[in-house]
Amino acid sequence: MSDVSAQPTTEADPADPTTLARYTTLRLGGPAGRLETAASAEEIVQKVQAAQRRDEPVLILAGGSNVVIGDAGFPGTVVLVRSRGLTVVAEDAGTVTVRVEAGEPWDDLVATTVASGWSGLECLSGVPGSTGATPIQNVGAYGQEVAETITGVQVYDRSDGSVGRIDAADCGFAYRGSIFKYSDRWVVLSVDFRLERSPISGPVRYAELARALGVEVGDRVPLADARATVLRLRAGKGMVLDAADPDTWSVGSFFTNPVLERSAYELLRERAADLGEPPSWFGAGDVVKVSAAWLIDKAGFAKGHPGPEGVAISSKHTLALTNRCGDASTAALVELAREIRDAVHDRFGVTLHPEPVLINCTI
């Protein structure tokens, strides 16, 4: 899959600082104060250091698939990450470790690993954006998370101007989070993944995927079958980028599934007693993850629910907020998100939190 989420820059089509909308999957975002393109890790560091010398704020933008940029844009330097490639840095009879440049389109990487017979990323097929973004929010889908295969992240540390490596154990990986997500200290340059040498997937953990594959949870299937089935499931939910499908003009899931303490979960069950049992998953430490999509739907926001200026909930998935008309404003999208969040809280007493990073805007 090509990196359609953020348009490439060439001599014939140079970076355009007048709008950041062309570099995000939402097709939203105002102008940049300055727009720079970096084609390598070295250039990323150079561009960031130059902005620091000018005392300008810096925004790192690659695939643009997990960011909401305000209509006023970003007043400092935006660095478009366009580094590419992967290198095998270690291997043995059972595993291979690859170092992947931050700008490598994620699904291109997954396709390469599947074709190479390397298991560990196949259920993350179709996730838009760049490889460098995956550790930031610990990307996960269909029972896999990148935290399971990442061994380290190469970074530029803005605080002391050094380039180094952060081992996976020090990345603070959590549900859709890490030490990188809400900090501008580190710039991801590349990511190391240790993958199993196997033509067979890891154990299928996600019930929906198991049903679609016709297997039991815990079974393993050929890598190509896992990838094809995940892509089909994601496409059915508008979660595979398609320039012709406005339902994919989004950041994917706009809200994370709430993780509640057991007492808060029991209160939710009481408030939802007339609607049936909320879909939920029990985790370690007596916490419960609840379906945000269910909460949104039961609060009165069905698929396709319209918002102002042509924004809307996707017609395929309740969690995706879309710029359906293609020329809406970020303010309109934020207004819809705020309306959903407040309605869910009023009905169920649960606060939804956005999954994407919000730049110069807030709900």
Active site residues: 176, 253, 355
Q: How far is CA 210 from the centre of its chain?
A: 23
Q: How far is CA 182 from the centre of its chain?
A: 14
What pairing do the DSSP bridges indicate for beta strands 86-91 and 95-101? antiparallel
Q: Is residue 131 packed enough to be buried (19+ CB in 10 Å), middle (13-18) or exposed (0-12)?
A: buried
In terms of Cα–Cα distance, which of 335, 345, 289 is closest to 308?
335
Cα separation, 150 vs 102, whole angstroms: 13
In terms of Cα–Cα distance, which of 323, 333, 337, 357 is closest to 22?
323
Q: Token pair for residue 273?
A: 């007693």
Question: Exposed e or buried b for every residue in 240-263, given b needs 16+ CB within 10 A?
Answer: bbeeeebbbbbbbbbbbbbbbeee
What do you get for the CA distance between the two ends of the chain, in Å?
Answer: 32
